[in-house]
Structure 1
Amino acid sequence: MKKRTFIKLSSALMTAPLFSPLTGWAASNGNPSDKLKNWAGNLEYSTERLDNAKSVKQVQEIVKKYDKLKVLGTRHCFNNIADTKDQFVSLVNAEEQIVIDEKNKTVTVNSGLKYGQLSPYLHQKGFALHNLASLPHISVAGACATATHGSGEKNGNLSTAVSAMELVTASGDVVQLSRKKDADQFNGAVVNLGALGVVTKVTLDIQPTFLMGQYVYENIPLDQLRDNFDKIQDSGYSVSLFTNWATNDITEIWLKFKMNSMNPLKVQPDKEFFGGKLATKNLHPIPELSAENCTEQMGVAGPWYERMPHFKMGFTPSSGVELQSEYFVPRKHAVDAIMAVSRLGKQITPHLLTSEIRTIVADDFWMSPCYKQDSVAIHFTWKQDWPAVSKLLPIIEKELAPYNVRPHWGKLFTVSPDLLEKRYPRFADFRELAKKYDPKGKFRNDFLNLNIFGA
């Protein structure tokens, strides 16, 4: 018998909020005199006009009311992909709903729900998601719309869990798309960059819950990475490499292991790992910072959602005051791309907090950086010095250009629109799909006009 579970999230399932509540005229820190900013504070939005939608009906009313509109999610983008000079709508404070379909192994959620809210409930009910990003603080719809990813030799990004979605188009109509029924159009709509409409519900594939543990190794020689990249990446369910490019080594490797009766985590791990030493205490990806905000390490078993992210839900992740960039290259070019970046170490290091390297499996979504190619992502967490970073990005992009680099849509980059179009085979098809759902450009903004529509 098909069994469905419906809930409103109770306060018992909620952890300490990262963001101040969004109101009609939202402020960044709860102070009415403050301007509305993104999570890191590097971007001040171009308007504070914001309406909260509690239901799909309210979304329809808001969409019909305004000529120009953008959705404001959990504000974790570092560029202006979600910005507007006109009007915001937010679903982050919408009525929180989760519907589990046990027979079909899916969960349907309101789009503004954060992964850190969804995951504990899924675990309680015996289910899990296949992958999570470094941060649990981001919304389901926002993460999928920008192909935010996570890590793993066999793991697709977060959007690959999407099996169906509901959105309100520019006309105010509700459209439902599914992997099963809508095939090609669905593949164009999942990673939508906010260009198609307001996503109101998302259905995700789920699987039986599981436990994980993670170990961290320090100071792996770069030569070992070059010669053994495949073996290193295949050493865990999810593997993250951290470096500041200052020396000829990888500062930290985080190995995350899935635990079950057939594959128990080692009680006594190897003391060395490709020349690196097993950490003797919990570490932060930025070595100078306390590991208090980080998920438990040292092989301690815990639920999947408390190990796959690097940071705990109830704390400000990473350093907070930072900038981020990230570049995807084909998996087959991983070592060459990493070595190319390493040669820029002297230029990069003075402006860097840390850099993370991960692998992600190919997908079929037109605007995903992993479209039709297994990929390696080279991520940069920068000090918040945009004049310096803005000069570095073109240098890094030039080094990665031979590998047809694709930038993360929600982070800082300077790759030209012409090159972006060349590197996405279905780019023109996506543009036409956006025109179908939004013929007058209600959901367009400066970012989309520049990078997608060539305006």
Structure 2
Amino acid sequence: MRSTTSELNWSGTVTYTASRVERPTSLDQAAAIVAREPRVHGLGTRHSFNDVADTPGVLLDLTQVPTDLVVDRTPEGTTVTLGAGTRYGDVAPALDAEGLALHNMGSLPHISVGGAIATGTHGSGTTLGSLSSAVRGLELISADGTTRTVTSTDPDFPGTVLHLGLLGIVTRVTLAVEPSYRMRQDSYGPVHWRTFLDHAAEIHAAGYSVCAYTRFGDDDEGGAIGEVLVKSRAEHVPDDLVGAPRLPGGPGDEHRTARDGSMGPWWDRLPHFPIGSVPSHGSEVQSEHFVPLRHAAAALDALRGLADRIQPHLHVAELRTMAADDLWLSPTQGQDVFCIAFTWKKHPEAVAALLPDLEARLAPFDGRPHWGKMSSLDGDAVAALYPRLPAFRALVARADPDRTFASAFGERVLGS
């Protein structure tokens, strides 16, 4: 299927410059499109807040290609292979029915597997890697329309997983999975600012996955950290967290998953939003910044100095953690990180004007931006943050010498 009208991202704040969007229903159709087009780029579920997925040529949306879920159980471990356009929310219950589970999910289950891993999307958990860290293999369409496979034994694998669409069209993804599990969500709060900073690592280690929420307010406004959401596999949890009481929470509804301490399937507790819901109407823009976990308190204190400028434009900031990995372009490459994710009101111009000062506050802590969200950092600043970037540029040159999959974002931000 072909679309010739202008396409917008999820929030309606980015207009893609592509000449059209193609939505094939089979991998053969996708390969034929790639083979005939001089410029083509993969398009996920359009949840990026910048032009990372754009191209002056043709955008290729694989969400209509069948999932074709294949489970492979071996003595070394179990993997699943599925279509890259599959949304996590569509495949998660099917995995659970097979007695299997993903190690983590993002807050939105509505995003595509291929788009999420290409941009380093993540959930939370001090011991848990990003969604990209579960990848064990990729199938990609090359510029001539042929398919190649890259697995974890390939020396270029760490540079291929998180690829920003610059290495080809990923059609199928192989993920490591584990036995299915059940879990609960509990809310604690409020937590005073200094208490949180003094105990940030402890708080984020209090469960399997932990998220905290702030508006950078004052303690006399009810606690600078309004809520800490703890997702745990344990059936029993403590009644307080660093002195903050466990809140009543509530059962799941059309807006959020259950936070009442009830045990439920992993796929209905790891995301913040229910699989069958529409999480919002896109009335927001987002930026996200990653600093080494050891700098969590100092980075938050530095940002709090901008509270008067942040608060008029902020819905909420979510604080998470992620474990280190070895992926070349991963925000967690080589270090455990503390994630500061801003959900801004739909004020893109005001946010863009604020970001240079916000990111300057994080520069002493080597703050890395999320690839799919708003940032003011230029190519020189990004290059200083990613020691494996030269290797990635060389990989792009080998995999795509004719620049079929090139993008303005790749040229401007990566020099690729």
**TM-score, normalised to structure 2's length?**
0.95
Determine which of 250, 256, 261 is the counterpart of 2:225: 250
Corresponding residue number in structure 1 for 2:317: 355
Corresponding residue number in structure 2 for 1:31: none
Partner of 1:164: helix, strand, or coil? Answer: strand
Find out whether 1:24 has 2:2 as its counterpart.
yes
Corresponding residue number in structure 2 for 1:69: 40
TM superposition shift of 1:207: 0.4
Find out whether 1:327 has 2:305 as its counterpart.
no
TM superposition shift of 1:48: 5.6
Corresponding residue number in structure 1 for 2:336: 374
**Cα distance between partner residues in 2 of 1:330 and 1:65:** 44
**Cα distance between partner residues in 1 of 2:389 and 2:3:** 36
Corresponding residue number in structure 1 for 2:87: 114
Determine which of 268, 278, 289 is the counterpart of 1:316: 278
**Cα distance between partner residues in 2 of 1:391 and 1:275:** 38
- The one-character-per-residue Cα deviations of 1:180-215 (angstroms, maximum 9, x if unpaired) are x21x30000000011000001100000000001010
Determine which of 233, 236, 258 is the counterpart of 2:207: 236
Determine which of 159, 162, 172 is the counterpart of 1:201: 172
Corresponding residue number in structure 2 for 1:167: 140
TM superposition shift of 1:282: 3.0
- The one-character-per-residue Cα deviations of 1:244-266 (angstroms, maximum 9, x if unpaired) are 1122410111000014xxxx334
Q: Is the 8 A contact 1:327 1:405 kept in 2?
A: yes
Find out whether 1:53 has 2:24 as its counterpart.
yes
Q: Is the 8 A contact 1:221 1:275 kept in 2?
A: no
Corresponding residue number in structure 1 for 2:119: 146
Identical counterparts, % of pairs: 40
Corresponding residue number in structure 1 for 2:246: 278
**TM-score, normalised to structure 1's length?**
0.87
Count how many residue pairs are aligned between Structure 1 and Structure 2: 410
Determine which of 312, 335, 342 is the counterpart of 2:304: 342
Corresponding residue number in structure 2 for 1:448: 410
**Structure 2 residue identity aligned to 1:221:** H
Aligned CA distance change for structure 1 residues 318 and 241 (closer, same or farther; 3 Å)? farther
**Cα distance between partner residues in 2 of 1:205 and 1:198:** 21
Aligned CA distance change for structure 1 residues 338 and 189 (closer, same or farther; 3 Å)? same
Q: Is the 8 A contact 1:25 1:48 kept in 2?
A: no
**Structure 2 residue identity aligned to 1:390:** A
- The one-character-per-residue Cα deviations of 1:253-297 (angstroms, maximum 9, x if unpaired) are 1000014xxxx334xx41x3224332223399xxxxxx6411111
Corresponding residue number in structure 2 for 1:99: 70
Superposition RMSD on alpha carbons, in Å?
Answer: 1.6
Determine which of 127, 131, 138 is the counterpart of 1:158: 131
**Structure 1 residue identity aligned to 2:204:** Q
TM superposition shift of 1:387: 1.6
Corresponding residue number in structure 2 for 1:217: 188
TM superposition shift of 1:320: 2.5
Structure 1: give runs of 5+ residues left out of the alignment. Answer: 1-22, 28-34, 285-290
Corresponding residue number in structure 1 for 2:58: 87
Corresponding residue number in structure 1 for 2:10: 39
**Cα distance between partner residues in 2 of 1:227 and 1:451:** 35
- The one-character-per-residue Cα deviations of 1:75-102 (angstroms, maximum 9, x if unpaired) are 1111000112321111110022100112
**Structure 2 residue identity aligned to 1:25:** S
TM superposition shift of 1:26: 6.4
TM superposition shift of 1:319: 5.8
TM superposition shift of 1:173: 2.4
**Structure 2 residue identity aligned to 1:393:** L
Partner of 1:311: helix, strand, or coil? Answer: coil
- The one-character-per-residue Cα deviations of 1:19-53 (angstroms, maximum 9, x if unpaired) are xxxx41166xxxxxxx4211111112223612222
Determine which of 299, 308, 312 is the counterpart of 2:261: 299
**Structure 1 residue identity aligned to 2:255:** N
- The one-character-per-residue Cα deviations of 1:342-379 (angstroms, maximum 9, x if unpaired) are 22111101100010010000001000111011111100
Structure 1 stretches (4+) deviating beyond 6 angstroms?
Answer: none
**Cα distance between partner residues in 2 of 1:280 and 1:345:** 29
TM superposition shift of 1:71: 1.2
Partner of 1:444: helix, strand, or coil? Answer: coil
